[in-house]
Amino acid sequence: MIRSSTRALACGLIAAGCLVSVSLLAAPPVDTSSMTIDQRIKRLERMAENQNAAQLQASIDRLEREAESLRGDLDEARHALEQLKRQQKDLYMDADQRLQQLESGGGSSKGGVAVGVQSDEAAPAESVSELSLDEAGTYQKAFAELKAGQYQQALATFQGFLQTYPDGAYADNAQYWLGEVYYVMRNYPAAIEEFAKVIKNFPDSSKVSDAYLKSGFAYYELKDWKKAQQSLTQVLQKFPSSSAARLAERRVQQMKLDGQL
């Protein structure tokens, strides 16, 4: 009797200290010799069901972990998409504003000569007699190519214009739009270089504020947050009342919200 109790206690301790799944190895030995075939089959079916349930739960757990990981990836993708939408919106708004200014005759002046373009891309009437027809025609051709999305042609025409008329009445505008062509083509280092020439070579041009602004945008695309902030801050400090300043302030605030500053 004592031996039986000791044996039962030992078995109970072993069972309590082990974590086992429902399987043939873990189940206590059963004498199946007295079972009918149907009983044996039912027993095997129950064991298989238990095993399948454990495997199914493991699969569910794995799928839940994968779903959680996918949700994280989806959140990151959604955030990146929202950033891209904001950048595109800013770009379109800026480009539209710049084109409207040009089409309404806005632009800088040199020596009393207007350098804007009318909505039909013709040189202002009061300036035609003072400008070389070749100069005005070349500039208009380059600008028309830019508006038509013919960026390679516009690039070559603007470059040729600046080589032929480096001090022309349209030179500052041509220099700025050359930078814009590179920007639209996503060649941001080249765009920055061309915008810097506007600031250096044409310090009195109305395009200087835009050159600082688009330099900041280009640095932003290159993920150079420090230089982007520096260029945008130049707009805010030097041209606080300009439309470029409003766009610069918007981008700086966006960078702060995104944790880039």
Asked whether the whole model's pTM tops 0.85, one would answer no
- Would you tell me how many other CB atoms lie within 10 Å of the CB of residue 126? 10
Domains of the chain: 81-257 (1.25.40.10)
Question: pLDDT in tens for each of the 261 residues of the chain?
Answer: 444 444 444 444 344 444 334 444 445 566 666 677 777 677 767 777 777 666 767 777 677 666 655 655 565 566 566 656 655 555 555 555 555 555 444 444 333 333 333 333 334 333 444 455 688 889 999 989 998 999 999 999 999 999 999 998 899 999 999 999 999 999 999 999 999 999 999 999 999 999 999 999 999 999 999 999 999 999 999 999 999 999 999 999 999 998 888
The tens digit of pLDDT for each residue in 30-52 reads 666 667 777 767 776 777 777 76
The tens digit of pLDDT for each residue in 155-169 reads 999 999 999 999 988
**Which pLDDT score is estimated for 39?**
72
**Which pLDDT score is estimated for 55?**
72
**Which pLDDT score is estimated for 22?**
40
226 neighbors 191 (Cβ within 8 angstroms): no
